[in-house]
Amino acid sequence: MLFDTHAHLNDDRLYSQADQVVERARQAGVRGIVNVGYDLESSRRAVDLGRRFPECLAAVGMHPHDARHYSEEVERHLLDLVSSGPVAAWGEIGLDYHYDNSPREIQKEVFVRQLQLADRLKLPVIIHNRDSHGDMLEILRKHPPKNGGIMHCFSGSAEFARDCLKLDLHISFAGPVTFKNASRLLKAVETVPDNRILAETDCPYLSPEPFRGKTNEPSRVALVVEKLAEVRGVEQRAMEEILWKNAEAFFGNPHKT
């Protein structure tokens, strides 16, 4: 019973072969996949995948890379998706100061706008954070998500993890926990309590060892879970149960009727 809480089967590298990718996930024991939007088209594809596959849920939103393209028209189309499709969360949204593909002030404005929108829709949020810890915490302290939030693909320190936990956020770990240079990240894994931890692939990115550098997919969330169990000193089956319970409580059961 594995749950990949952050995937991008809506990416061009995976979307055209979604049937095969989902079948491989099923064979690996994956029973839940959240496909996360990062712009309007990927959000549409996420909703489409949610209609096609019973294990798939969708999130819609605008990634900070494309914050400069956010507009009332884009927002209207995203809202239409929420009203018409199986949407479980708003995201991914946030800040990315590593590439600065959109000006930082615009990133912050669009982040706040989407946080407020998710609150009105009573949806949880999926948060992207890269090299923006200070501004991220400042915004989230002023605008805490009312319906829950996930700090996705966590890459920070144990101290930053504790700051996120104080804001009642969940923390999701991806393939980097398996990398050889992950010692700081593993301390964060130890910090997160059982009821706040999640696992993801962020596919097609960040494939875990021994597949690092290759196109990632949801079946490999099993390798992330295996590493989390090892670091936390629990049996893998127990780790799977903890992660499934947390993901189901956050997103709902993906096996819709």
Give the sheet arrangement for strand 170-173, strand by strand: 2-7, 30-36, 56-60, 87-96, 125-130, 149-151, 170-173, 197-199
Q: Hey, where are the domains in the chain?
A: 2-251
Q: Quick one: how far is CA 255 from the chain centroid?
A: 19
Helix/strand/coil for 27: helix
The reported pLDDT for the residue numbered 257 is 38
Helix axes of 221-232 and 236-251: crossing angle, nearest 10 degrees? 120
**Half-sphere exposure of residue 255, counting CA atoms within 13 Å on the CB side?**
7
Over its length of 257 residues, how does the chain's per-residue pLDDT go in tens digits? 999 999 999 999 999 999 999 999 999 999 999 999 999 999 999 999 999 999 999 999 999 999 999 999 999 999 999 998 789 999 999 999 999 999 999 999 999 999 999 999 999 999 999 999 999 999 999 999 999 999 999 999 999 999 999 999 999 999 999 999 999 999 999 999 999 999 999 999 999 999 999 999 999 999 999 999 999 999 999 999 999 999 999 999 887 53
CA angle at 248 for the pair 242 and 254, rounded to the nearest 5°: 135
The answer to whether 80 and 121 are in contact (CB under 8 A) is no
pTM: 0.97
Contact (Cβ atoms closer than 8 angstroms) between residue 91 and residue 126: yes
Q: Among 3.20.20.140, 3.40.190.10, 3.30.470.20, 1.10.10.10, name the CATH number for the domain at 2-251.
A: 3.20.20.140
pLDDT attached to residue 86: 83
